[in-house]
Amino acid sequence: MRELLVIGIGAGDPDQVTIQAIKAMNKADAFFVIGKGDEKQDLVDLRTTILEEHVTGPYRVVDIADPPRNRTPDDYEGVVDDWHERRAAVFEEKFAAEPGVGAILVWGDPSLYDSTLRIVERVLARGNVSFDYSVIPGVTSVQSLAAGHRMVLNRIGEPIHITTGRRLAEGLPEGVDNAVVMLDANTTFTQVPGEDVQIWWGAYLGTPDEVLISGRLRDVESEIQRVRTELRERKGWIMDTYLLRR
C-alpha cells in the first residue's frame, strides 16, 4: 500500500462528513472495514450510505476480521499485548495486498477512544510493510453532545475532563468540575454523589433518533435510566454520552 488515510466521519449524522473527508475518500482505491462480527446493522448502513453518497469513482471494500480477544484473562496485560500483535499481523497482511491508496473510516474522530492509530503504528513498527499515512479529523460525539444541548462544555476558564464510565466508577478526581463521560454501559452517573451536580445527556446524537435530557442529576437520573433502557430494548443497541458539572 502506497498511502493510508484514516478518516473521521462524524458520530452519526452523514452531514457531519467534512469536505476534507470527502476529498480524501475520493482518493482511496480500497476501504478497509474492521469488523468484530457484532457491529450494529445501523452503523454498517451509515458507513455504506456515506460511501454511496460521497464517493464518485470505483472503490473496493476489504473486510478485516478482528481476531477474538479473551475478555477475562488472568494475565491481562500479556493477553492484551498478544491480541494487539495478532491484530497488527492481520492488518499487515491486508495492507500488503493493497497496491494503491487505502482508507479506514473511523466513527467520530480517530483521536478519541479509538484504536485505529495505535494499530497502524504497531503495523509500521513491525517493519514488514511501509506506507505514508495521514489523519483527517471528524466531528466527535462530544461535539455533537454540546451542539445538541446548545452549550459550552466548560464554564469560563475552567478545564474539561473526558473519561469513561469505568473510570467514573472510581469517582470524579479532586478539582474536576466538568467531565464528559463516554463508553458507559452502566449509567454510572447514578453513583456520583452530591446534590449540586448537573447532567446533559444525549443518545444516538446526530441521528434521527437523537434523545437529549438535561437537568439536576438527582432530579433526572431515574428518567435517563428508564429512557435508556427503553431505547436500548427497542433498537437493540445504544450509544450515549453525557456531561456532568459540579
Are 103 and 5 in contact, with CB atoms under 8 Å apart?
A: yes
User: Rounded to 5 degrees, what angle do the CA atoms 73, 236, 187 make?
Assistant: 65
Classify strands 132-136 and 178-182 as parallel, antiparallel or unpaired: unpaired
Across the strands, what pairs with 101?
3
Considering only residues 120 through 159, tell me which ones interact with ligand SAM, judged by CB under 6 A.
140-141
Give the one residue of 1, 4, 9, 11 binding ligand SAM; rule: CB under 6 A: 11
Please tell me whether residue 243 binds ligand SAM under the rule CB under 6 A: no
Nearest-CA neighbor of 48 among 72, 69, 25? 25
- Asked if 180 is part of the footprint of ligand SAM (rule: CB under 6 A), the reply reads no
Stretch that binds ligand SAM, among 16-24, 52-60, 188-196, 201-209 (CB under 6 A): 201-209
Judged by CB, which is closer to ligand SAM: 102, or 138? 138
Residue 1 interacts with ligand SAM (CB under 6 A): yes or no: no
Paired residues of 164 in beta bridges? 182
**Span from 73-81, 86-94, 97-105, 108-116 in contact with ligand SAM (CB under 6 A):** 108-116
Contact call for residue 189 and ligand SAM (CB under 6 A): no
State whether residue 234 is helix, strand or coil.
helix
∠ CA 208-148-242, rounded to 5°: 105
Q: Is 203 in the site for ligand SAM (CB under 6 A)?
A: yes
Binding of ligand SAM at residue 113 (CB under 6 A)?
A: yes
82 is an interface residue for ligand SAM by CB under 6 A: no
Torsion of CA 229, 190, 166, 116, to 10 degrees: 50
d(CA 204, CA 194): 28
Figure out which of the listed residues 103, 112, 199, 224 binds ligand SAM, where binding follows CB under 6 A: 112
Q: Using CB under 6 A as the criterion, which residues of the chain lie in contact with ligand SAM when the complex forms?
A: 11-12, 107-109, 112-114, 140-141, 182-183, 202-206, 239-241
